[in-house]
Amino acid sequence: MSKPAERKARRKRPALDAAPPARKEDRAAAGVRLQKIIAQAGLGSRRQAEEWIREGRVLVNGRVARLGDRADPGKDAVRLDTKRVRVRTGAKTYVLLNKPRGYVTTVSDPESRDTVLDLLPGPLARGVKPVGRLDVQTEGLLILSDDGELASRVTSPSSGCPKEYLVKVSGVPPERDLERLRRGIRLDGRPTRPARIERVSTTGGGRAEEGNSWMRVVLTEGRTRQVRRMFEVIGHPVSKLRRVAIGPIRDDGLPVGAYRRLAPEEVEALRRSLERGTATATATANVAPQRTRARRREPGTRKPRVRREART
């Protein structure tokens, strides 16, 4: 046997001292990965949890955890910094709220302002957290849940979860400016994703500086005050902003300040939408750019010669 063939055969031969792969039953007995426990507790996404573990902020029974460690949520004491990580058992809670203006999208506020949790009864408010954010002057649909996995997927840019807004801006933006926003502009040093923007109605004389315009805007990302900042760039500031849909979740009849639980079929529809969005984003990222073929010149034609200026 030649040396290359011998080396190839040696690589295929299993090592005698290699440990057999862990069975599913053995992994279950060893517990759950820490990043999954933290995500299920609604404290952050799995990727955020991995960063916290690398930074040494996660403890298991008083010991600093390492990436890859597992724990039993029912027996082991898992802490993030000084806070005990508790995974709620049983059915998850999914609430749809029509947020009014003036409420902060957070669990608590250091300035003692009203938060979106103040709009829910005590038993329902315990344990749920806002999924994403709406700024204090924006109203509209907001999901609150104790399902950390679903929350991280809704807010993750990789899922491309569409959020639809009705926007009132001052004046009448020219079509060329709206096309700029549709293609994407630079905010914070990086381009925004393409957006869907359509006119709903206009008031006034139709001139750019007169009247007001209502726009329908659909984004697949959620940067801080993104809609407001986009229209500020083209010189037509937002005066009213309302979110009317999150993926397939929509309820035009829900009064401002009111809430309701999401139906199981609505939650399932949202999950399917997120799976399709993630699959599409992955497929797009894996597609290699097509090389364009050079155009052939007609017989008898020559490429024009470019006369270069003499260097001085």
CA atoms within 13 Å, Cβ hemisphere of 159: 20
SS3 content of the chain, % helix, strand, coil (to 5): 30, 25, 45
Determine the pLDDT at residue 292. Answer: 43
Q: Is the pLDDT of residue 236 over 80?
A: yes
Determine the pLDDT at residue 86. Answer: 77
pLDDT tens-digit series, residues 86-100: 776 668 899 999 999
Which residue bears the tokens 């996995």?
149
Residue type present at position 115: T
Confidence label for 288 from pLDDT (cuts 50, 70 and 90): very low
**Residues 67, 176: contact at Cβ < 8 Å?**
no
Q: Say which range, 144-148, 205-209, 295-299, has the weakest mean pLDDT.
A: 295-299
Tell me which of 17, 76, 81, 135 is the catalytic residue.
135
Share of the chain above pLDDT 70, in %: 76
CATH number for the domain running over 25-84: 3.10.290.10
Overall average pLDDT of the 189-208 stretch:
87
Alpha-carbon gap, residue 237 to 203, rounded angstroms? 15
Distance of CA 46 to the CA centre of its chain: 13
Q: Is the pLDDT of residue 58 over 90?
A: yes
Alpha-carbon gap, residue 42 to 262, rounded angstroms? 18
pLDDT tens-digit series, residues 60-81: 999 999 999 999 887 889 999 9
Confidence label for 249 from pLDDT (cuts 50, 70 and 90): very high
Catalytic residue flag (residue 135): yes
Q: Among residues 274, 295, 267, 211, which one has the least CA distance to residue 96?
A: 267
The mean predicted confidence, pLDDT, of the chain is 83
Alpha-carbon gap, residue 128 to 17, rounded angstroms? 49
Q: Among residues 143, 27, 46, which one has the least CA distance to residue 94?
A: 143
Q: Among residues 220, 55, 244, 49, which one has the least CA distance to residue 139?
A: 244
| Joined tokens for residue 283 | 């497929």
**Residues 123, 134: contact at Cβ < 8 Å?**
no
**Residues 160, 281: contact at Cβ < 8 Å?**
yes
Alpha-carbon gap, residue 69 to 56, rounded angstroms? 12
Which residue bears the tokens 């270069």?
308
**Residues 192, 228: contact at Cβ < 8 Å?**
no
Determine the pLDDT at residue 8. Answer: 55
Alpha-carbon gap, residue 154 to 159, rounded angstroms? 7
- The domain segmentation of the chain, as residue ranges, is 25-84
